[in-house]
A and B are shown apart, each in its own frame.
Chain A
Amino acid sequence: MPQDVAESGATPADDPRSDLELVDAINSGDPAAFDALYLRYRDWVLRLAWRFTRDHDAAGDVLQDTFTYVLRKFPGFALTARFTTFLYPVVRHVAIANQKKARRMILDDGQIDQPAEPDPPSADTQRRQLASVMACLSEDHREAVLLRFVDGFSLAEIAEAVGVPVGTVKSRLHHAIKALRDDPATQRYFEQ
């Protein structure tokens, strides 16, 4: 924690300014405003980075590289969308770049070739099967599902975050949902 913050007793996380106001302050050279923006979105970025890397240390590296990238956008930075909408492609690109550099492999938790379960599966088994089906989706389709249903992005926000038209987002979601509905391992979700 920076010394000036420690002396004041207030933490940047408590900063009442909006994201837009913080961006304006950073453009004027205010490092405390950047601290506030960082702490406001640090955990969100870290969780997203973990999803891409499945590795604690790698997620920390992505967090650092993401905000290093953001920092160098200042001065002259204009916030025209939700900050998370801006951060998402940055985190994704940084995670992929870091993985390429480290030649890491992302391993999904589930096994793709799960044997059919004659009896209703337990919650853990059902989730493993869901993970398997999700792993079989294309990266674009899986990303759309996670952004919409796990992160709560709107269709328009997904479109902005991944740089495609809203119609394409809807199409990806429909194809992903159809795959989940058609797969025997996950179709029971739709029958409940």
Chain B
Amino acid sequence: MNERHEQHDADSPDDAGEPTLPAALVADLTALYRPPSTLRAPSRVDDTVFRAAREHLAGVSALGAKTPLSQVGERLGEGDGSSDASSHRLHSEASDDSTLTPALSLSGRGRWRWALPWGLAAAAALAVAATVSITLIRTDAPRAAADPRDIDANGRVDILDAFALARRLEQPLGGVDPARVDVNGDGAVDAADVDAIAAAAVKLNGGRG
């Protein structure tokens, strides 16, 4: 039965009513396709799903979900950074994904959408960061043993440091040590420092392609 035939039939007057089946037939269908009473979800599946949820959503939390990004976007005048644009219809995506397999189709376009406002922010702050860097070099300012931009202290300055500082700035008391994270040296710990770190991250990563 092809779709054209089906659609043609569907448009016919005979198909206007709600299709029904005799109750006995429905009962037997239900009995036929009812799973065995011994069917239980394996505990290994529960454990795997719970563990996967924690691992995956911890990453979501670490990236500050949606709010911090949108707030930073507003600070930088890059638009509202709303996540609405990245939301997508749950059903249509699942239904249209004809190659749906867990291994291949889970990368998610939304995963990278968070990077857009940060990329724009980093570009906007690049000139400021370059100026700061040149100033530091020319004045031979003493460098701390640990890079102050390495907020998460993992030995690298990357975009996660910018996220970390942005998140800390949203905490009621700031949650930051001004002496440590005033990376642009202007005497204040604020969005400009986040921008500076983001710019540095882009600069550092740029050579790696």
Task: State the A residues within 8 Å of B (CB).
Answer: 1-2, 26-31, 34-35, 38, 42-43, 46-47, 50-51, 56-57, 59-60, 63-65, 67-69, 71-81, 85-86, 89-90, 93-94, 97, 109, 123, 126-127, 130-131, 134, 138, 140-141, 145-146, 148-150, 155, 160-165, 167-168, 170-175, 177, 180, 186, 189-190, 192
B144 within 8 Å of A by Cβ? Answer: no
Give the nearest-CB partner of A56 in chain B: B39
Task: Indicate if the CB atoms of A73 and B19 lie closer than 8 Å.
Answer: no
* A69 to B3 Cα, complex, angstroms: 29
B22, A190: Cβ atoms closer than 8 Å: yes
**Are B49 and A68 touching (Cβ within 8 A)?**
yes
Query: When A29-B57, A77-B90, A78-B87 are in contact, do A170 and B108 touch as well, CB less than 8 Å?
Result: no
28 examples of A-B residue contacts, CB within 8 angstroms: A35-B50, A35-B53, A38-B46, A46-B41, A47-B39, A71-B56, A71-B57, A72-B107, A75-B60, A75-B66, A75-B110, A76-B108, A80-B91, A90-B94, A93-B98, A94-B100, A109-B32, A127-B31, A130-B25, A131-B32, A149-B21, A149-B30, A168-B7, A171-B10, A172-B1, A172-B6, A189-B24, A189-B28
Interface residues on chain B, number (Cβ under 8 Å):
68
B residues near A155, Cβ cutoff 8 Å: 18
B19 A170 Cβ-Cβ under 8 A: yes
Closest to B108 in A: A72
The answer to whether A29 and B60 touch across the interface, beta carbons within 8 angstroms, is yes
13 further contact pairs, Cβ within 8 A, besides A34-B57, A71-B52, A168-B3 = A29-B65, A34-B53, A42-B41, A72-B56, A78-B89, A81-B90, A86-B94, A90-B100, A149-B25, A164-B3, A171-B7, A172-B6, A189-B24
Residue in A31, A63, A150, A189 whose CB lies within 8 Å of B53: A31
Q: Describe B's contact surface by its main secondary structure.
A: helix
Contacts of A175 in B (CB 8 A): 1, 6, 9
A180–B9 Cα distance when bound, in Å, is: 18
Residues of A within 8 A of B107 (CB): 72
- Give 3 nearest A-B pairs by CB, closest first: A167-B10, A76-B110, A29-B61
In the complex, whether B96 has a CB less than 8 A from a CB of chain A is yes
**Count of A-B residue pairs with CB < 8 Å:** 213
Q: Which single member of B29, B38, B60, B90 contacts A149 (CB below 8 Å)?
A: B29
Determine the distance from Cα of A180 to Cα of B26 in the docked complex, in whole angstroms. Answer: 12
A75 CA / B62 CA spacing, docked (Å): 12
CB neighbours of B21 from chain A (8 A): 145, 149, 177, 180, 189
Q: Is the CB of A76 within 8 A of B88?
A: yes
Q: How far is the CB of B36 from chain A (nearest CB, A)?
A: 8
Question: Could you say which of B10, B19, B41 has the most chain A C-beta atoms within 10 Å of its C-beta?
Answer: B19
Query: Cβ of A171: which chain B residues have Cβ within 8 Å of it?
Result: 6-7, 9-10, 15
**Which of A29, A67, A148 gathers the greatest number of chain B CB atoms within 10 Å?**
A29
Q: Is B86 an interface residue (CB 8 A)?
A: yes
Query: Once the chains bind, are A68 and B52 in contact (CB under 8 Å)?
Result: yes
Chain A residues near B110 (CB, 8 Å)?
A: 75-76
- Is B94 a contact of A89 with CB atoms below 8 Å? yes
